[in-house]
Amino acid sequence: MAVDLGALDGDALDELMGKVVTDLGAIALAPLLSIGERLGLFRALADGEAVTPAELGERTATVERNVREWLAAMAASGYVTYVGEGRYRLSPEQVAVFTDEDSPVFVLGGFQAFAAAARPETRDRLERAFLDGHGVAWHEHHRDLFAGTARFFRPGYALHLVAEWLPALDGVVDRLRVGANVADVGCGLGHSTLLMAKAFPGSRFSGFDYHAPSIDAARELAAESGAGESGAGESGAGESGEGARVTFEVAGGKDFGGGPYDLVAYFDCLHDMGDPVGVLAHTREQLAPDGTVMLVEPFSHDDVSQNLNPLGRAFYSASSLICVPASQSQEVGRALGAQAGEQRIHEVATEAGFGRFRRAAETPFNIIYEVGNRAG
Ligand SMILES: C[S@@+](CC[C@H](N)C(=O)[O-])C[C@H]1O[C@@H](n2cnc3c(N)ncnc32)[C@H](O)[C@@H]1O
């Protein structure tokens, strides 16, 4: 049937087509961001100096013609600033967002992770998962997802975890100062574990994840960081011996050991697990009677209509590609999704037998829940 354009609302159509053009550009831009990072194009602009494509090409041993097109694509996106007369520079904000791995607003890890999940071979698997409901496991993704996710989340953890999230939990910082036993479950590459270990040298930290390559990487990062070395008389990070203060072990959420724990933390991962109720029920068995569970989850409202905004779009899209299929691939397949919201997370904690639940802190990107046994 031929579409009668005259019968359509012209303004609504223009608005929709504007979004489509923006998104077409975004899809083409994603690999260019990765190329820009890998070839050092962003880094070479970090001094904020205005350069020509030829000068940037010289700085990075790349071809001027390709760099010229890349710079124009970035400038049209607002990711690089065109200053006229063929020169481009990064503003201080663009430097913080695109060049500084330690900046709280560094984003290139996010592009690395999303691009990994969008790879054609993964898309084909996901397409099958939409038909058979068996999901796609976390470990079936390209390795860029593991590194990219860790790089994407680390700046937020570095900014908030020790300064705000742990202090928002009742009595937890006092225990960490004295000497607590802590588990970080679904720890991935272990940045959260290492940040806590560095801040509280008198406590012991165990990172667990079912994905062996992530645990191998966590051990390497721990050894490089020396995070465990300040524990009084104890051996270093990444070791798995009796005395090690920071250890990383391959274990799933329903079979990690080492309790009783004063604190068990889940960073952006409970919703990825197939059986979050089973995982939290197991956590109860590993928790000291007065211990605390910290659930860090992506920010979300309970009702879908309240999440229909740019952040919700990024989270629902990642959830469709990564989180829901990951959970579906595991036992039970509860598939909470990255936008589960407080009510559903509370339900899961209650089903697991916990009587204490509250929202302890939040940022624009995360909600931090405190969970425990009923006092008394
Ligand atoms: C989105 S990543 C978050 C990783 C890390 N916590 C962070 O914040 O960077 C989800 C993690 O959950 C882990 N995971 C998924 N299902 C699991 C399970 N059943 N038991 C343990 N880990 C699991 C994955 O291997 C992955 O490392």
pLDDT digits (tens, 9 = 90+) for 65-96: 999 999 999 999 999 999 999 999 999 999 99
Q: Where are the alpha helices (H) located in 83-135, listed in sequence order?
A: 92-98, 108-117, 120-132
Instruction: Examine the pLDDT at 289 and tell me if it is beyond 70.
Output: yes
Query: One fold for both 10-100 and 114-372?
Result: no
Instruction: Examine the pLDDT at 227 and tell me if it is beyond 90.
Output: no
Domain 10-100 fold is: Arc Repressor Mutant, subunit A (1.10.10)
Averaged over 315-326, what is the pLDDT?
Answer: 98
Q: How far apart are CA 276 and CA 279, in angstroms?
A: 5
User: Minimal CA–CA distance to 35: which of 1, 64, 11, 66?
Assistant: 66
From 114, 138, 151, 193, the mutation candidate for ligand 1 (largest count of ligand atoms within 8 A of CB) is: 138
Q: How much distance in Å is there from the Cα of 251 to the middle of ligand 1?
A: 11
Banded pLDDT at 242 (limits 50, 70, 90):
very low
Between the CA atoms of 348, 351, 352 and 353, what dihedral angle is there, to the nearest 10 degrees? 130
The correct answer on CATH 1.10.630.10 for the domain covering 114-372 is no
Banded pLDDT at 243 (limits 50, 70, 90):
low
Banded pLDDT at 228 (limits 50, 70, 90):
low
What does the pLDDT look like over 343-370, one tens digit per residue? 999 999 999 999 999 999 999 999 999 9
Per-chain mean pLDDT for the chain: 94
Largest CA distance in the chain: 79
Banded pLDDT at 375 (limits 50, 70, 90):
confident
Percent of the chain's residues with pLDDT above 90:
93
From 146, 154, 209, the mutation candidate for ligand 1 (largest count of ligand atoms within 8 A of CB) is: 209
Q: In the prediction, which pLDDT does 376 show? A: 60
What does the pLDDT look like over 328-340, one tens digit per residue? 999 999 999 999 9
Q: In the prediction, which pLDDT does 364 show? A: 95
Place of tokens 């201080």: 92
What does the pLDDT look like over 180-195, one tens digit per residue? 999 999 999 999 999 9
Q: How far apart are CA 163 and CA 200, in angstroms?
A: 12
- Ligand 1 atom nearest the C-alpha of 184 is 6
Averaged over 294-314, what is the pLDDT?
Answer: 97
Q: How much distance in Å is there from the Cα of 270 to the middle of ligand 1?
A: 8
Q: How far apart are CA 220 and CA 216, in angstroms?
A: 6
Instruction: Examine the pLDDT at 240 and tell me if it is beyond 80.
Output: no
Residue nearest atom 4 in ligand 1 by C-alpha distance: 188
The domain limits of the chain are 10-100, 114-372
| Count of other CB atoms within 10 angstroms of residue 294 | 25
Question: Which CA distances in Å does 365 have to 105, 147, 155, 290, 362?
Answer: 12, 19, 12, 29, 8
Instruction: Examine the pLDDT at 303 and tell me if it is beyond 90.
Output: yes
Q: In the prediction, which pLDDT does 71 show? A: 98
Give the sign of the dihedral formed by CA 203, CA 298, CA 27, CA 126. positive
